[in-house]
């Protein structure tokens, strides 16, 4: 399964109820962050899922609301006793931004590895996730969305094991991924497993106008986390000017790409209550929710044609 927490759901500026953009993703006890606005380190402390298990961070772009928390996060990682390297991925400019923000960070107890990605994005492997960074349209600046895929191993098939005359005493080793020798033969785990099972796909992309790459990488996901920067049609001039999306536009992407659910985040400070526009948005895509700061969601492996989405209460 995959768990996540929307640490901060505010866009542009923080308000008391909405810290700036940050998503905490946890798989099998290890975790990553996407973006790190002001308030991220204290959000992690509130959440209680820990700093030590954070192996890296993916940055969408370098506007202040997505990266003002980086120096504080690194200081918190150090205080948590980190000594393993910490990895940061992001578009062009990563080195300049992190080095600038870290002017106040003394030499750390761990290495920080910066992975600056080209305009077309790229592939990342972290905490067992296969991640695709893809470019979106936030005006002239480089900005990425991230599609995260958690694969699920194929299940052990006792009938295949029996057919290959594997003694039951060896089943456990095969289930744990070992190859065993039966007399003169080698039996590998893939000899005794069924078909690959469906994994979990989570897409996170804020700060973009609707665009082709977004449609492409949102296809067939279990859950989309997209921006609900503005709630009403009157805000379209701002959405166009600032390269953001309306709730309606995010829902139209979900209608096209049919994920299990759509979770909106990155709300403008002009939105007092992010729930207000949800009923109307559901007329476009029914399984839509508005995220809250500190809310946690569990995505369980889907069975059959289901999506790995546990609807929010």
Q: Rule CB under 8 A: is residue 260 a binding residue for a copy of itself? A: no
Q: How far apart are CA 284 and CA 303, in angstroms?
A: 26
Q: Rule CB under 8 A: is residue 312 a binding residue for a copy of itself? A: no
Q: Rule CB under 8 A: is residue 101 a binding residue for a copy of itself? A: yes
Q: How far apart are CA 95 and CA 17, in angstroms?
A: 31
Which position among 1, 3, 53, 75 is part of the footprint of a copy of itself (CB under 8 A)? 75
* Closest CB 62 distance from a copy of itself, rounded Å: 5
Bridging pattern class, strands 197-205 and 185-187:
unpaired
Q: Rule CB under 8 A: is residue 39 a binding residue for a copy of itself? A: yes
Q: How far apart are CA 196 and CA 91, in angstroms?
A: 33
Q: Catalytic residue positions? A: 65
Q: Compute the chain's Rg from CA coordinates.
A: 21
Total of residues contacting a copy of itself (CB under 8 A): 33
Q: How far apart are CA 313 and CA 30, in angstroms?
A: 26
Q: How far apart are CA 69 and CA 18, in angstroms?
A: 14
Residue number, 95 or 162, with CB nearest to a copy of itself? 95
* Closest CB 235 distance from a copy of itself, rounded Å: 16
Which position among 29, 45, 172, 298 is part of the footprint of a copy of itself (CB under 8 A)? 45
Residue number, 47 or 219, with CB nearest to a copy of itself? 47
Q: Rule CB under 8 A: is residue 52 a binding residue for a copy of itself? A: no
Q: Rule CB under 8 A: is residue 100 a binding residue for a copy of itself? A: yes
Q: How far apart are CA 297 and CA 223, in angstroms?
A: 11
Q: Rule CB under 8 A: is residue 12 a binding residue for a copy of itself? A: yes
Please report, as residue ranges, which positions from 193 to 252 form the binding site for a copy of itself (by CB under 8 A).
none
Q: Using CB under 8 A, which of the segments 67-75, 177-185, 244-252, 278-286 binds a copy of itself?
A: 67-75
Q: How far apart are CA 129 and CA 135, in angstroms?
A: 19
Q: Using CB under 8 A, which of the segments 35-43, 122-130, 160-168, 200-208 binds a copy of itself?
A: 35-43
Q: Rule CB under 8 A: is residue 114 a binding residue for a copy of itself? A: no
Residue number, 56 or 69, with CB nearest to a copy of itself? 69
Which position among 64, 85, 118, 158 is part of the footprint of a copy of itself (CB under 8 A)? 64
Residue number, 15 or 111, with CB nearest to a copy of itself? 15
Q: What is the 3-state secondary structure (H, E, C) of 243-307?
A: CCCEHHHHHHHHHHHCCCEEEEECECCCCCCHHHHHHHHCCCCCCEEECCCCEEEEECCCCCCCC
* Closest CB 294 distance from a copy of itself, rounded Å: 10
Burial 195-207 (b: 16+ CB within 10 A, else e): eeebbbbbbbbbb
62 Cβ neighbours under 8 A, 6+ residues apart: 90, 91, 93, 97, 141
CA dist list (Å): 214 to 138, 143, 147, 310: 12, 12, 10, 23
* Interacting residues with a copy of itself (CB under 8 A): 12-16, 19, 38-39, 41-42, 45-46, 62-65, 67-69, 71-72, 75-76, 79, 96-97, 99-105
């Amino acid at each position: 399964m995959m768990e996540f927490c929307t640490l901060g759901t505010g866009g542009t500026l923080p308000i008391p109820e909405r810290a700036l953009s940050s998503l905490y993703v946890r798989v099998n006890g290890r975790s990553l962050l996407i973006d790190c606005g002001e308030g991220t380190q204290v959000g992690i402390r509130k959440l209680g899922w820990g700093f030590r298990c954070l192996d890296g961070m993916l940055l969408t772009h370098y506007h202040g609301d997505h990266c003002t928390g980086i120096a504080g996060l690194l200081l918190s990682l150090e205080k948590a006793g980190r000594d393993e390297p910490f990895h940061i991925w992001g578009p062009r400019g990563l080195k300049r931004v992190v080095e600038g923000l870290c002017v106040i960070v003394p030499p750390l107890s761990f290495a920080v590895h910066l992975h600056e990605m080209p305009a077309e994005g790229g592939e990342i492997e972290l905490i067992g996730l296969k991640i695709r960074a893809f470019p979106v349209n936030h005006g002239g600046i480089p900005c990425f969305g991230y599609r995260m895929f958690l694969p699920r191993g194929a299940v052990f098939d006792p009938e295949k094991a029996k057919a290959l005359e594997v003694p039951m005493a060896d089943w456990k080793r095969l289930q744990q991924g070992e190859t065993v020798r039966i007399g003169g033969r080698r039996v590998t785990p893939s000899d005794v497993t069924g078909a690959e099972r469906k994994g979990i796909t989570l897409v996170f992309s804020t700060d973009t106008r609707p665009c082709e790459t977004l449609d492409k990488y949102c296809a067939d996901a279990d859950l989309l986390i997209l921006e609900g920067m503005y709630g009403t049609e009157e805000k379209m001039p701002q959405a166009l000017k600032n390269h953001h999306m309306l709730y309606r536009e995010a829902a139209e992407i979900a209608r096209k790409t049919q994920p299990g659910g759509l979770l909106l985040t990155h709300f403008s400070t002009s939105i007092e209550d992010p729930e207000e526009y949800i009923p109307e948005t559901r007329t476009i895509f029914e399984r839509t929710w508005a995220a809250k700061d500190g809310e946690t969601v569990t995505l369980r492996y889907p069975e059959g044609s289901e999506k790995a989405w546990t609807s929010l209460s």
